[in-house]
Amino acid sequence: MSKKDVFKTWNKGFNLLLFVKLNQRKDSNLKFLLTVLGESIAIGLAVMGSILAGAITGWFIEEKLLHGRTSPWITTIFIIFGAIGGIKNLLYYTRKRFKEKNNGKS
């Protein structure tokens, strides 16, 4: 076996190893991207859901129980409660993510 043949064989092996490593890296980057995307969607839905739930609850109390006598005020107060709940959810998910990151789960 000549030096050229040894070099070609080594080069093919190195290229294969490099290809495998790049594919593994690409898979881990895709997994990370999808994880972050899923968490972002969950946080957004939790915040919007809290605000929407507050708005619907406030409207229901105002229109059905108080017959519109306090027109925008109860709805506004419950929207604020919903926003506070949404911020609480945001902080919960953030703490959970940092706790997982610090524990090495990443």
The letter for the amino acid at 33 is L
Averaged confidence pLDDT in the chain: 80
Q: Residue range 57-85: average pLDDT?
A: 92
* 59-66 contacts at long range (C-beta below 8 A, 24 or more positions apart): none
The proportion of the chain whose per-residue pLDDT surpasses 90, expressed as a percent, equals 32
Question: What pLDDT digit, counting tens, does each position of 23-46 carry?
Answer: 666 667 778 888 888 888 988 899
What's the rounded Cα separation, in Å, for the pair 59 and 56? Answer: 5
Domain extents for the chain? 3-102
Question: Is this prediction's pTM over 0.85?
Answer: no
State residue 97's pLDDT score. Answer: 80
Question: Which of these, 26, 83, 18, 94, lies nearest to 53 by C-alpha position?
Answer: 83
State residue 86's pLDDT score. Answer: 92
